[in-house]
Structure 1
């Protein structure tokens, strides 16, 4: 894992909202391609780290999937499939758009499956 990204992940798990906000801002500015393994780790973390407050900025799920999917790859689809319903709604919508951009058979299949799940259950994600 990139050392800078590891610091950001550690900061996201902080209860101090100032430190957490700094980490989310750093993810918003992230412009570097990650190793595939690291991007998959971010996609997993996006399902685990929940907001601590109701402020709109506190959406670690969205920030993590955005950073992870700068360069989306077919091998990320299984990780997305496993976690997408635990992402925040904004993060899930962002990932759905990445699946369309990827435009492979497995990505489009997951897009359709997830869209139908959202449609049938009123866009119910367990994230925020």
Structure 2
């Protein structure tokens, strides 16, 4: 890795540890399908409880970011060949919008770009 790459990774790793507010509009699980050569974004609804945690609207169970997760069915599944195409489909086209916070839209744009890069380069993609 170059010095610049290491510095960028250090900044990115630090920012990934900051606290975030969850979007009451829901959350997305992003993954790539190499065989189909597509990026997918599954959208799930949630409710934000009084502690600021996302909970399943049907059961009230906390939706964990890591570890044991509540088994849920996506409300909508978007797929596209590029990050820009996925941004249009998942962020710009739905009416009403599935995203209620600007920082969530920015995060999705970054993640879709990372997923596209991984799809093109063959690198592993793990959602941040």
TM-score of Structure 1 vs Structure 2, range by shorter chain? under 0.3
TM-score (ref. length: structure 1): 0.28
Which structure has greater helix proportion? 1
Higher-strand-fraction structure: 2
